[in-house]
Amino acid sequence: MIKSWFSLFLKSNCPLCDRSADEYICHYCQQQLNNCRFQNPCQFWSGDLPLFVWGIYSGKLKMAIAALKYNNSPQLGELMGYWLGEAWLNAPGRDRPKKLIVIPIPLHQKRLQQRGFNQAELIAKSFCRLTGHSLQVKGLERIRDTQPMFGLNSLVERENNLSKAFILGKDLQKRRPKEPVLLIDDIYTTGTTVREAANLLRSQKIPVLGVGAIAIAEGRRENSGYP
């Protein structure tokens, strides 16, 4: 209560351009972000691991994800989770189950300590707050601190980097859910990380519905038309 009362008076600058703003993100940056947004977030919702994605990883959205991760702006993660949840609720979903378990792709403990938060967890949290799905932050645990994927060239290198990257987390060790899982990550690049996580869950008889992400790297899946 006090915090929201305070925020009326303490207007801060836009975290993406540092101009003074009436809202958390200034009008100009909001427009730029909107240009990165897909009109159809379900365009990759097919195949064995369907992907629901908010926008294209370029321009202002790329900048916003970098600001979230490296400029210590966790509020941006909450905002992105809200966008993803809003898109999810507005998308036609005849075949989507009513009850879902939402699991963010975890960071390795070492990286979590460096950053102070897991961006996928922030996104998943506010996604669940809006959609009402149940969040399992400790659904998966990352046991290998993988190198950033951008530094690795071949598919073999990427797959070796991820082999046995995850184990079931405490939440899922206690109880294997019957409801399908939606994995949440910030960026979908090659899909190797989420596929590894999905394979582990499926090998434990836990159903996986698909993946939700804020952004997809350009040209990563066929049919990646711009909005």
Q: Which is nearer to Zn ion, 26 or 103 (CB)?
A: 26
CB 50 within 8 A of CB 27: no
Q: How many residues bind Zn ion (CB under 5 A)?
A: 5
Site residues for Zn ion, 1-20, by CB under 5 A, read 14, 16-17
The residue range among 25-33, 84-92, 125-133, 171-179 that interacts with Zn ion, by the rule CB under 5 A, is 25-33
CB of 147 to Zn ion, least distance (A): 32
Alpha helix ranges (H) inside the chain: 2-7, 27-36, 59-70, 74-90, 109-115, 119-131, 155-162, 170-174, 192-203
- Enter the tokens of residue 31: 């427009």
- Which amino acid, residue 212? G
Binding flag, residue 26, Zn ion (CB under 5 A):
yes
CB 143 within 8 A of CB 162: no
Q: Which is nearer to Zn ion, 31 or 173 (CB)?
A: 31
Binding flag, residue 182, Zn ion (CB under 5 A):
no
The residue range among 23-31, 149-157, 178-186, 202-210 that interacts with Zn ion, by the rule CB under 5 A, is 23-31
- Enter the tokens of residue 98: 């009513």
Q: Which is nearer to Zn ion, 16 or 100 (CB)?
A: 16
Q: Which is nearer to Zn ion, 26 or 162 (CB)?
A: 26
The residue range among 24-32, 46-54, 76-84, 107-115 that interacts with Zn ion, by the rule CB under 5 A, is 24-32
- Enter the tokens of residue 221: 């899946």
Nearest alpha-carbon partner for 214 in 126, 139, 110, 135:
126
Q: Which is nearer to Zn ion, 42 or 67 (CB)?
A: 67
Q: Which of 24, 29, 100, 125 binds Zn ion (CB under 5 A)?
A: 29
Rounded-to-integer distance, Cα 120 and Cα 57, Å = 15
Question: Would you tell me how many other CB atoms lie within 10 Å of the CB of residue 199?
Answer: 13
Footprint on this chain of Zn ion (rule: CB under 5 A): 14, 16-17, 26, 29
